Amino acid sequence: MAYDTIISDWNGTIIKDRDERLLLKTIAIDLFKASIPFHLIRAARLLKVRAELEGLYRQGRQDTEFDFIREMFIIYNRKIINGLPIFFIHRSVDRYAARRETQHKLDLRILRLLRSCHQGGKTTGILSAGYGYGIDRILTVAGFRGCFDFREADSFKQEGRRAVEFPLNIYKNKPQLLLRALRHRNLDEKRTVYIGDSEDDEGCFEIARYPIVAFFATEELKERCASRYKAFIPEDEKDLANYLRKL
């Protein structure tokens, strides 16, 4: 077969959520609950942060998706994340990962095919700007973590046992990180399938020999990537499986 590696994005590709908004919201809610009734000043501050975030969400994305994500994380990093114990974050993420509504957002069409590729001897991986620990926990609950040979994602910057910020190191840097991940494992981009859903994945579509646009992607992005990168646009799980089988 013409490919031996298949790498997928996470947000908007394997899971329906396009960013980590709901995961961060879970951390904020848990912090608010922990503030009642003994830390009322902190609770009041969190309510103000919620209002600020809701204003951002009403405004919507800026010039690019990255601008919106960056603004959201600036608020979370400065007013919620900074100083939080890592164990508190992990506990919140564990709860988030185990929720039925979180698990229902997984695209089993993609996961089943990735599992089949892994079982067939292909190298499988995830390249994501999302939170690595969260990805691992969600996949573990779903029973799919063992289907991936590697996972490259972001993590909280720490000082000691406390978080400082979520640095957004992977956003806008995916093409370079994809090449680095391939080189590190002696893999060939000309024998690589890459599945993504957003403008942040387009640089990876240029690198990988076989770009595929995920089911959750917008019709606008599907049309653009089919034209610009000759990306494959699967109609359903069977269509995607047939495409991979014929490579």
**CATH (domain of 117):** 3.40.50.1000
Residue 110 has pLDDT above 80, yes or no: yes
Quick one: pLDDT at residue 46?
A: 64
Task: Please tell me the total count of domains within the chain.
Answer: 2
125, 10: one domain: yes
In which band, very low, low, confident or very high, does the pLDDT at 47 lie, cut at 50, 70 and 90? low
Domain final residue, candidates 57, 84, 102: 102
217, 135: one domain: yes
Quick one: pLDDT at residue 230?
A: 97
User: Range of 238's domain?
Assistant: 5-17+106-246
118, 204: one domain: yes
Q: What is the share, in percent, of the chain residues with pLDDT greater than 70?
A: 91
CA angle 68, 71, 72 (to 5 degrees): 85
95, 146: one domain: no
Quick one: pLDDT at residue 54?
A: 77
Quick one: pLDDT at residue 64?
A: 59
73, 112: one domain: no
Q: What is the pLDDT of residues 75-108, one digit of tens each?
A: 888 888 899 999 999 999 999 999 999 999 999 9
Sign of CA dihedral 187, 196, 230, 180: negative
In which band, very low, low, confident or very high, does the pLDDT at 61 lie, cut at 50, 70 and 90? low
H helix or E strand, kind and range, residue 98: helix 86-98
**Most confidently modeled range among 30-34, 52-56, 69-73, 198-202:** 198-202
Q: How far is CA 128 from CA 63, 121, 125, 160, in A?
A: 21, 22, 10, 25
Residue 207 has pLDDT above 80, yes or no: yes
d(CA 103, CA 199): 25
123, 60: one domain: no
State if pTM tops 0.85.
yes
Farthest-apart Cα atoms in the chain, separation = 62
Residue, of 16 and 67, whose pLDDT is higher: 16
128, 158: one domain: yes
Alpha-carbon radius of gyration of the chain: 19
75, 133: one domain: no
45, 114: one domain: no
120, 202: one domain: yes
In which band, very low, low, confident or very high, does the pLDDT at 127 lie, cut at 50, 70 and 90? very high
93, 111: one domain: no
Q: Contact 15/195 with Cβ under 8 angstroms? A: no
Domain final residue, candidates 59, 77, 102: 102
d(CA 87, CA 162): 8
Give the pLDDT mean for 121-131: 97
52, 130: one domain: no
Domain final residue, candidates 50, 68, 102: 102
Query: Per 3-state DSSP, what percentage of the chain is helix, strand, and coil (rounded to 5)?
Result: 55, 15, 30
CB atoms within 10 A of CB 245: 9
